[in-house]
C-alpha cells in the first residue's frame, strides 16, 4: 500500500481528532466506521515519521559561508553562535557575512 501525502495528512488529522475526542480507539473507530487495524496501521506509520522528524539533523554549511568570511582577528576568542531551524543546527561564525546567512535561511525555509 503506497501512501500519499494526502493520506498522511488525513490520518494525522483523524488521529488528532480521536485523541481530542477522549474516546477509546474502539469507540472512535466504530463511530467513524473505520477498522481498528487500519487505525493502528496509520497511527504506527505516522508515529514513525514523527519520530524520525524529531531526530537532529546536522548540515555542513561551511562551504556556503566560508567564501565570504573575513579572517578572524582574534582566533582565540569564539563568539560563534548556533541557529536551530526546524531539525537543523547550524554553527555561524562571529564574523559571518549577513548576505550569506540570509541566503542560507532562505534555503532552510524551503526544506
Tell me: do 30 and 70 sit in the same domain.
no
The verdict on 77 and 46 lying in the same domain is: no
Res 66: pLDDT? 46
Contact status, residue 56 vs residue 87, Cβ threshold 8 Å = yes
pLDDT number for residue 21:
93
Does residue 32 sit in the same domain as residue 76?
no
Mean pLDDT in order along the chain per 10 residues (111 residues): 75 92 94 94 86 60 48 58 74 79 73 64
Q: Give the HSE-up count for residue 19: Cα atoms under 13 Å, Cβ half-sphere.
A: 7
Q: Which domain holds residue 105?
A: 57-109
Neighbours of 79 (CB within 10 A): 10
Residue reference for cell 494525522:
12
* Distance from C-alpha of 95 to C-alpha of 68, rounded to nearest angstrom: 10
**61 in the same domain as 49:** no
- Where does 1-111 show beta strands of DSSP type E? 57-58, 81-85, 88-92
Q: Is the pTM of this model over 0.75?
A: no
Amino acid at each position: 500500500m503506497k501512501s500519499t501525502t494526502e493520506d498522511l495528512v488525513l490520518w494525522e488529522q483523524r488521529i488528532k481528532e480521536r485523541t481530542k475526542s477522549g474516546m477509546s480507539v474502539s469507540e472512535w473507530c466504530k463511530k467513524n466506521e473505520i477498522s481498528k487495524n487500519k487505525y493502528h496501521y496509520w497511527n504506527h506509520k505516522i508515529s514513525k515519521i514523527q519520530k524520525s522528524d524529531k531526530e537532529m539533523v546536522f548540515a555542513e554549511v561551511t562551504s556556503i559561508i566560508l567564501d565570504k568570511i573575513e579572517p578572524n582577528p582574534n582566533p582565540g576568542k569564539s563568539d560563534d553562535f548556533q541557529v536551530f531551524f526546524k531539525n537543523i543546527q547550524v554553527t555561524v561564525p562571529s564574523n559571518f557575512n549577513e548576505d550569506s546567512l540570509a541566503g542560507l535561511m532562505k534555503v532552510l525555509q524551503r526544506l
